[in-house]
Homo-oligomer: A and B are copies of this chain.
């Protein structure tokens, strides 16, 4: 039968016109509206008894968000209120566009560290926030969520670990009351050991005790006791408790012109003004225009959005309970959150690991919980800034360090080690380059090293050559390729076969390449296989292709009319070789009749 004869000479191409038409049609359906506004789906299904859990969760998250925001504002190199300015709009926007009920968007340690490197004044941070929003939104609309798939678990695990270590290290000086602005791993520790004599007794005591208490309180919820619900709530509200204790201590121990602890400094009271992000700024009286600001922000215009997306999606994945995350929609939500937030003097924001975990543990039912968090932050800005003036820096540092200790995924690292040792390479590359270079470049290093794995595998497919002796004592080499072939492996295949045949002491009359697992090849592979055929002919050896998948065989057959003669479709090897032996110079027509479509 000659059925595959036609098929083999015609390449199946995707119909681009139909594809475009289809996506144009999809553009204006209710499914698309539901995809872009997830609130349409969940709000009508909202039940009254969701209100209380959502309220409690929102409140708990808010009580953690406020002290965190204050410290993240200072980590970004700005005054504390900027952290609070960044902490409400994300929550509100996420209600409309977010897909994962637990995710909390707001200022995070990583974002603060990253923006700090480029912050000459607040305007830079706000502009960075605006562009983070625009770029993230654009990536979401262009459906670039796919790119996130190239960040493997070893790389995210490594990045999280390195980020946690970097951020915790950045707080070590504050914990001991040493005045320092260093935020990087090595810098912080060298500064710490150089200035260890400047340790303030009060701050160090408060910091270390708070840290230990936080670690204990985090653990007590795991203890089985009759007061399980009580211990659970103590555990959840531990950050708020630490802040309250810190403020009270500081307030009552202070005298008119003396404070017992170092504090973050005055928090400017009042809601942030609504204004367009600043496209020019002034430093020490010198006007700096838009272009120069962009120049100063430099590569961070790309790296901050990327890390924001990554962090948010990593958080969403951790709490999705196996639900597939729509990465592109998360990008849209994050992008809009940043854009809206930038109108309220915000620094770049992203999904927060700690607060999302607290949200989840508090039993949040829908994204509506975020509204309570946002309102709480606004109320703090309006009425409570004087109270928060008394937060000791050491307390905040203890809260951050405690959060970072639990951010490292120790189990995951053990799992990677157990399941596949080579996956430790991208993990370690990410960790080390993040710690000793910068977080942004470290992540890129990890991704690149991991992509090299894919490329290496594509260049070195597993090729197994075995021998068989069939009738008339002619030795046959059978080449088994366990993968699809791409151009990068073309020469490897050719040289491996030629080397095998030419270095073999016994004469091999035929080489049979099995092709059941070769579903696609490209023109480079096709040209190399034809050239392999010539090489083998020079060695008095015939090349046959056995049971190749039709699309792959087609790529070779379309190159040269005679190539068709190489392809044999049959169940047994015997048949392949003997058909060919009877008549080694079959014409295309007669040969065609021996071809049967493989089942």
Check: A441 CB closer than 8 A to any chain B CB.
no
In-complex Cβ contact of A455 among B451, B489, B558 (8 A): B451
A210–B196 Cα distance when bound, in Å, is 83
Check: A138 CB closer than 8 A to any chain B CB.
no
Smallest CB separation, A329 vs chain B (Å)? 13
* A 12-27 binary contact with B (CB < 8 Å = 1; else 0): 0100000000000000
Check: A457 CB closer than 8 A to any chain B CB.
yes
**Secondary structure type dominating chain A contacts:** helix
Check: A79 CB closer than 8 A to any chain B CB.
no
A558 touches B418 (CB 8 A): yes
Residues 72-125 (chain A) with a chain B CB within 8 angstroms: none
B531 touches A495 (CB 8 A): no
A421–B13 Cα distance when bound, in Å, is 8
Check: A324 CB closer than 8 A to any chain B CB.
yes
List B contacts of A527 (CB < 8 A): 153, 415, 419
B487 touches A153 (CB 8 A): yes
Check: A482 CB closer than 8 A to any chain B CB.
yes
Interface stretch of the complex, out of A126-134, A298-306, A518-526: A518-526
A488–B450 Cα distance when bound, in Å, is 10
A11 touches B453 (CB 8 A): no
Check: A285 CB closer than 8 A to any chain B CB.
no
* A 312-340 binary contact with B (CB < 8 Å = 1; else 0): 00000000011110000000000000000
Check: A484 CB closer than 8 A to any chain B CB.
yes
A522 touches B415 (CB 8 A): no
In-complex Cβ contact of A322 among B482, B489, B535 (8 A): B535
Check: A221 CB closer than 8 A to any chain B CB.
no
B491 touches A149 (CB 8 A): yes
A323–B482 Cα distance when bound, in Å, is 25
Check: A423 CB closer than 8 A to any chain B CB.
yes
Smallest CB separation, A376 vs chain B (Å)? 33
Total count of chain A residues near the partner, CB < 8 A:
60
List B contacts of A415 (CB < 8 A): 523, 527, 559
A522–B499 Cα distance when bound, in Å, is 31
Check: A534 CB closer than 8 A to any chain B CB.
yes
B487 touches A538 (CB 8 A): no
B487 touches A519 (CB 8 A): no
Name the residue of chain B whose CB is nearest to the CB of A147. B459
In-complex Cβ contact of A523 among B420, B490, B495, B538 (8 A): B420
B459 touches A146 (CB 8 A): yes
B153 touches A324 (CB 8 A): no
A170–B124 Cα distance when bound, in Å, is 47
B498 touches A324 (CB 8 A): yes
Smallest CB separation, A359 vs chain B (Å)? 21
A152 touches B454 (CB 8 A): no
Check: A532 CB closer than 8 A to any chain B CB.
yes
Check: A494 CB closer than 8 A to any chain B CB.
yes
A154 touches B498 (CB 8 A): no
Smallest CB separation, A514 vs chain B (Å)? 12
Smallest CB separation, A266 vs chain B (Å)? 47
Check: A517 CB closer than 8 A to any chain B CB.
yes
In-complex Cβ contact of A454 among B486, B517, B519 (8 A): B486
List B contacts of A487 (CB < 8 A): 149-150, 152-154, 450
Smallest CB separation, A143 vs chain B (Å)? 13
Check: A483 CB closer than 8 A to any chain B CB.
yes
A454–B487 Cα distance when bound, in Å, is 9
Can you list 22 A-B pairs with a CB-CB distance of less than 8 A?
A149-B459, A149-B489, A149-B490, A149-B492, A152-B487, A153-B487, A153-B523, A154-B487, A322-B538, A323-B535, A324-B495, A324-B498, A415-B559, A419-B559, A423-B522, A423-B523, A453-B522, A454-B454, A454-B488, A457-B484, A462-B519, A517-B517
